[in-house]
Structure formats: structure tokens, C-alpha cells
């Protein structure tokens, strides 16, 4: 299971770490991104949509996680 | 929280001009996500960069009158281009993400980190020649009392950022203040080639 914890990071670092990780992965694999930086909740989905990957966002108080399935 | 000059110099020396994403960033000027309050070094900030812009606006208006707003658009455009270049230089991996994401990221990062406010993009389609966004929590107008509220410098900044990313000239078509919601709707249009 691929997980990156970007709590404490601010834009654009969460997005860039996510994109860097996705590049190493194969189709069908899942990446979980854990963050506490609200703008990342918008920027990561925008780029994942642009790249054609599927994702779901789970809120947990000030933190959230985004599960991305590589397409 | 205080950071010594030595720590800052060491940080800059270590990065070699680029940001190491595995290191904690130095806290800087930003807007609190919940309150919109400007913060500097994790503390509430009362004097900020945008205050300087308010003074600049007033001085310019005193000297050249109505034309000052046009000048501010041009100054803003040049600032936006320069800031976009600086962010792209610090984070070269941003070149690998889509233009749409670059626009979202750079507009948001630059406006927030210079203390100009938060942006919500309303219309962004690379096939269309225009771009529409709302800017809120903008502190630059708060202490500007002698002239009507405008946002031409910040709108100009957006045109500079988009121009840098898309490689085309963008001009401010409209910049309207919405008094009820205390925000600004900015429309940019691609300049015909």
C-alpha cells in the first residue's frame, strides 16, 4: 500500500509529492495522501482529474486523506 | 516563533536556490485558512506588504489621476510574471503538471503569500479566450479611504501569472468590486495576436 504523509507541508509541496509518487506507480495501484493543508484538497484533485486518475476524499477534522487509483 | 538570520542564511545556502520538499518550510506571510487574517512567522500580522500598495495607489492617483489605475494594472502584470517565474524556479517540478493545475496553484500561492487574498476560479477553459475569478479576503483595500475601491493591481497580477503560464498576453477586461460580499470579480481576456 502506497501512502504519503504530507501533513505540515504547504502548497505546492503536497501536490508535487503526490505527482512524483504517482509517476512511480502502475495502472490500478492506489496511493493514499494524508494532508492538513486545505488548498491541497483542491489542487490534488484538479491535477488527478487532468491526468485521468480516479480519487476519493475522506475528511477527518482538520486533516483529510485522498485515495487515488492510478489509471 | 522567531528565526535567526543565521538560520535563514543556512536554509537558503542548503537549498541552492531550490526548495527541498523534504524539509520544513520557513513560515512566511500567509492568510489564515479559517479567518483570512494575515499571518507572519505564525503570528498575527498588522502591517503587511499590501499596505504599501495602498499607499502607492494613493500617491500615484495624486500625481497622475485616473490613469493611475491603468499604471497599476501594468505594474501588477509585471509583478505577476516575475512572481510566477520565481515560484517556477523554486519548484521546477510544477512544469510537469497540467496548465490548468499550474494556473490554480500559482494564482493561489502568489496571492496568498503576498497577502493579497484568496482566489476562487470561476471560469477556466484553455480553449476559451477568457478567464474569470473571484478574489476574497483581500486586505489591500481596507485602509484605502480616499479613493473608490478598485483592485487593478491584483487583477494585473493575475494577467501576468496567466501570461507566464500560457505564453500569451492576457489583459484585464473587467474588475468589479462586490460590496455585499466584499470580494472582487476579475475577468481577463486573451489579447488578439
With 60 as the cut, is the pLDDT of residue B141 above it? no
Give the whole-angstrom CA distance, residue B175 versus residue B155.
Answer: 7
What ipTM does this complex have? 0.88
pLDDT the model gives residue B152? 86
Q: With contacts defined as CB-CB under 8 Å, which chain B residues touch A5?
A: none
In chain A, positions 52-71, which contact chain B (CB-CB < 8 Å)?
none
Give the whole-angstrom CA distance, residue B183 versus residue B135.
Answer: 6
Owning domain of residue A59: 2-69
Q: With contacts defined as CB-CB under 8 Å, which chain A residues touch B21?
A: 9, 13, 16-17
Q: How confident is the model at residue A41 (pLDDT cuts 50, 70, 90)?
A: very high
What is the mean pLDDT of the segment spanning B70-78?
93
Mean pLDDT across chain A: 94
What is the mean pLDDT of the segment spanning A6-34?
95
CATH code: domain of residue A7? 3.30.110.40
Query: Total structural domains in chain A?
Result: 1
Amino acid at each position: 500500500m502506497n501512502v504519503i504523509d504530507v501533513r505540515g507541508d504547504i502548497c505546492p509541496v503536497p501536490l508535487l509529492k503526490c505527482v512524483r509518487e504517482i509517476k512511480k506507480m502502475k495502472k490500478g495501484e492506489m496511493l493514499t495522501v494524508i494532508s492538513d493543508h486545505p488548498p491541497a484538497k483542491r489542487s490534488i484533485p484538479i491535477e488527478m482529474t487532468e491526468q485521468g486518475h480516479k480519487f476519493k476524499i475522506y475528511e477527518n477534522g482538520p486533516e483529510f486523506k485522498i485515495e487515488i487509483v492510478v489509471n | 516563533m522567531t528565526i535567526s538570520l543565521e538560520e535563514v542564511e543556512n536554509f537558503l545556502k542548503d537549498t541552492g536556490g531550490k526548495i527541498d520538499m523534504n524539509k520544513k518550510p520557513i513560515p512566511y506571510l500567509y492568510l489564515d485558512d479559517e479567518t483570512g487574517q494575515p499571518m507572519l512567522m505564525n503570528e498575527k500580522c498588522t502591517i503587511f506588504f499590501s499596505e504599501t500598495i495602498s499607499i502607492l495607489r494613493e500617491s500615484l492617483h495624486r500625481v497622475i489621476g485616473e490613469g493611475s489605475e491603468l499604471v497599476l494594472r501594468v505594474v501588477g502584470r509585471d509583478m505577476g510574471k516575475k512572481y510566477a517565474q520565481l515560484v517556477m524556479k523554486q519548484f521546477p517540478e510544477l512544469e510537469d503538471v497540467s496548465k490548468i493545475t499550474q494556473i490554480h496553484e500559482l494564482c493561489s500561492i502568489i496571492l496568498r503569500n503576498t497577502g493579497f487574498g484568496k482566489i476562487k476560479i470561476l471560469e477556466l477553459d484553455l480553449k476559451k479566450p477568457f478567464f474569470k475569478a473571484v478574489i476574497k479576503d483581500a486586505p489591500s483595500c481596507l485602509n484605502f479611504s480616499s479613493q473608490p475601491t478598485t483592485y487593478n493591481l491584483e487583477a494585473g497580477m493575475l494577467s501576468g501569472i496567466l501570461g507566464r503560464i500560457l505564453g500569451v498576453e492576457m489583459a484585464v477586461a473587467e474588475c468589479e468590486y462586490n460590496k455585499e460580499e466584499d470580494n472582487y470579480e476579475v475577468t481577463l481576456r486573451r489579447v488578439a495576436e
